[in-house]
Amino acid sequence: MAVRVAIGSDHAGFQYKKKILTWLQEQNFITADFGTYTEDSMDYPDAVHPLATALENGEYDFGILLCGSANGVCMTANKHQGVRAGLAWNLEVVKLIRQHNDANILCLPARFISEFQAVEYAREFLNTAFEGGRHATRVGKIACPAC
């Protein structure tokens, strides 16, 4: 079964989003683009909330979000139960958020990495497995019990 990947960005991440989306489609991932669709200024939560909701509902296996620093999209996505969004700025962090944190959304800082790195990080994120074991216990404690 093909892996389903949702992608979204604000205006700062728009060009990188297009590059990653093209790569995903070339690799035969099932994709959905949650916007933005231009470089016009927009509010990142308008793309993040629909994407994170779709992930929560099981419509997609993974998500990729981009904005200038990746902090805004990451904070917004992590408001959703069942979402574990991780901000990554180098390859080692990309691997660790999958291996140790079972991240299901990759957040990339478009103003601090290259287009090449953005695609490379997406590839690594989608090809790295969660290690489980002692990490599974920790990941199991992430969700807010009162939410």
Separation of alpha carbons 11 and 140, rounded Å: 34
DSSP string, 22-47: HHHHHTT-EEEE-S--SSS---THHH
The residues carrying an active-site annotation are 67, 100
Q: Quickly count: other Cβ atoms within 10 Å of residue 123's Cβ.
A: 16
Separation of alpha carbons 103 and 77, rounded Å: 11
Beta strands in 42-137 (DSSP E): 62-67, 85-87, 105-109
